Amino acid sequence: MQVVGGSASPRLAAALAEHLRARLVRAETKRFPDDECYVRVHDDLTGAKVVLVQTTWPDRNLIELLLLQDAVRSFKVESLTTVVPYFGYARQDKQFLPGEPVSARAIARLIEAQSDAFLTVDVHAESILDWFEKKRATSVSASADLARHLRQFSVDFVLSPDEGRIAQAAEIATALGVPSDFLVKERLGSEAVSIVPKRLEVEGKTAVIADDIISTGGTIAAAAAELKRHGARRVLAACTHGIFVKNALERLSAVCDMIISTDTVENPTSVVSVAPSLAKHCR
């Protein structure tokens, strides 16, 4: 087995190669003056089982992935497993108006065309996997990896920002042996909204707010501020995919004691690697 890492996922590719005891292949990516992408795989992959690792956000990383797939296939490999740690466009999984694309479906079909198997991490909607017609598509949970890191912080409970994302918070909480809950919005007036835990008392406690994706950080920041107002001693924000657009990190840092994300999207808060969980599905 040999691992090829795209420019969006170098750390994760290296960690995955180490866990698999596989060779990390030399791959080159650069941009021409007109911003078109150039890739080259420097090592001979003929006959190999190849694992290609590349997050597909933002758009330019998707183009790089498709070119890397083509480059890998030029060696007549035995198989190609495409690992997309963060699947871009996963939140566009429905058509709301006539004439709109189902973007997640379109991306899935492009990636599958050159893949023998597909892995992603905490995909936003499990239904996306059904669009991989070969049906060798798996979403790997990052909950165990996040829980392993969170054990050092004496967490009292894990919260989901809403009822719809409670599954991940519950998985992390179960691994830590603590309760889980979800946050609810309570309208206090014409404009004021309080975001509070549904059942748990937070005073003097350490709380983790866990979500699959943090993008603008608005909901998490509001929830953290409310938990602090209700007496929480520490509030940690944890997510699988740290997108952190615009001033999200600044906004979160103002109210959270710590921000934790995985290496599906490599950034300064990526202190948790999903390589252990991915490796179990690559063998």
Distance CA 11, CA 200 (A): 38
Distance CA 262, CA 239 (A): 7
Q: Dig out the tokens for 74 from the structure.
A: 């030029």
Distance CA 51, CA 262 (A): 19
The residue assigned the tokens 């992390």 is 172
Which listed residue (30, 49, 134, 185) is catalytic? 185
Annotated catalytic residue 185: yes
The DSSP call for residue 46 is T
Q: Which residues contact 278 (CB under 8 A, 6 or more apart)?
A: 12, 16, 19, 83, 85, 119, 121, 140
* 277 within 8 A of 139, measured Cβ to Cβ: no
The DSSP call for residue 271 is E
Active site residues: 185
